[in-house]
Amino acid sequence: MSSFSSLNATSAHLHFNQYQPYIDGITMPIPGFDNHVYPIGHESKGQALYFEYGQWRAQTIRAELHELQHANMGRKYAEVDRRSLDPPPVVALRLYQLVQTGPYNFQEIEIINYEDIEITGLLCTAELIPVNEMRSEHQYDLHTDGSYEYGSDHHMSTNSDYLPSFIQHDPVPESEVARLTTKVLIGSKVVQPHLINHNGRQRLLFVFSDLAVRNLGVFRLRYKFFDLFSAAPGRHTKIQAECVGGTFRIFSTKHFPGLQVSTDLTKILSAHGISLNIRNSERRSKKRKNGRGRHQIEERGTETLTEIL
């Protein structure tokens, strides 16, 4: 018998029959995994996995991923000038237990005491997905100050709202997602959660603080969650939840608009001992000439590097 089963809570009897894989058009197969992706969100209420091994043995658990913070921008990766996505992407893990309240009744209850969860083996991966830009109605140009111009009199600032409209015409081929994730996305793509006190409660947060991108353009991150130690020996590890994050743009060094003040969430994570760059003032890119008459980019502002506690 498999170490995982699926449960339909609306059924009159407790059957652990396998659901069909959730096909979203952009799910990347991972070698060694069974690559089943189960529905997440409101439509998945009552759908969960029954565990026969690991810390949730003999329990029925459903997992959800929620992106709490997505990157707004980044500078194109270079060997001598590596800059991580900013702000760092942060994903929350929520866990729900399905409990039997009557002979044929079940209720889904969120696990509140996340401090009791063993985080060893809980992992979240990040994958890179390109986003097509919609330029049919308005052509835009990127100014040297980092703002976009639409026509002759419309500007967008370089804050989190500066991105133009995007449209995804067709699902991205998985071969392309695999190539981008392997060759273009740089840094720590698999992370463990941190137990963080956020908004008055303990949460399990995955922090992707060390990601950079080699190519220019607009992208999203897709996140997948799994538990290494809940699979039976010789069985594949199941992907328990996934979500797709918000868009961000990768600039060239020449056009990089500079970095914004660190978000409140980033500061909270730093206070919990996660190594992050904390900026108390905006860092704007400014051109200057070097001794050979060429332009270089100089950043102005205040930055504090918080070490690992």
- The pLDDT tens digits of the residues spanning 48-93 come to 888 888 999 888 899 999 999 999 999 998 877 778 899 999 999 9
Asked if residue 232 lies in contact with residue 2, where contact means CB atoms within 8 angstroms, the answer is yes
CB neighbour burial string for 59-88, b if at least 16 within 10 angstroms, e if fewer: bbbbbbbbbbbbbbbbbbbeeeeebbbbbb
Angstrom CA distances, 39 to 27, 42, 132, stand at 12, 9, 25
Q: How many CB atoms lie within 10 A of CB 241?
A: 25
What was the pLDDT predicted at 287? 53
Residue 300 is encoded by which pair of tokens? Answer: 């102005």
If you ran DSSP here, which 8-state letter would residue 181 be given?
I
What was the pLDDT predicted at 165? 44
Q: What is the mean pLDDT of each run of 10 residues along the chain (309 residues)?
A: 43 32 42 46 53 88 91 87 88 90 84 92 95 53 35 34 46 85 94 91 93 94 91 79 91 87 90 84 57 46 33
Asked if residue 239 lies in contact with residue 32, where contact means CB atoms within 8 angstroms, the answer is no
Asked if residue 140 lies in contact with residue 148, where contact means CB atoms within 8 angstroms, the answer is yes
Q: How many CA atoms lie within 13 A of 278 on its CB side?
A: 18
What was the pLDDT predicted at 112? 86
205 by Cβ neighbours in 10 Å (0-12 / 13-18 / 19+) ranks as: buried
Domain(s) labelled CATH 2.60.40.3960 in the chain stretch across 4-132+168-305
CATH of 4-132+168-305, one of 3.40.720.10, 3.10.590.10, 2.40.33.20, 2.60.40.3960: 2.60.40.3960
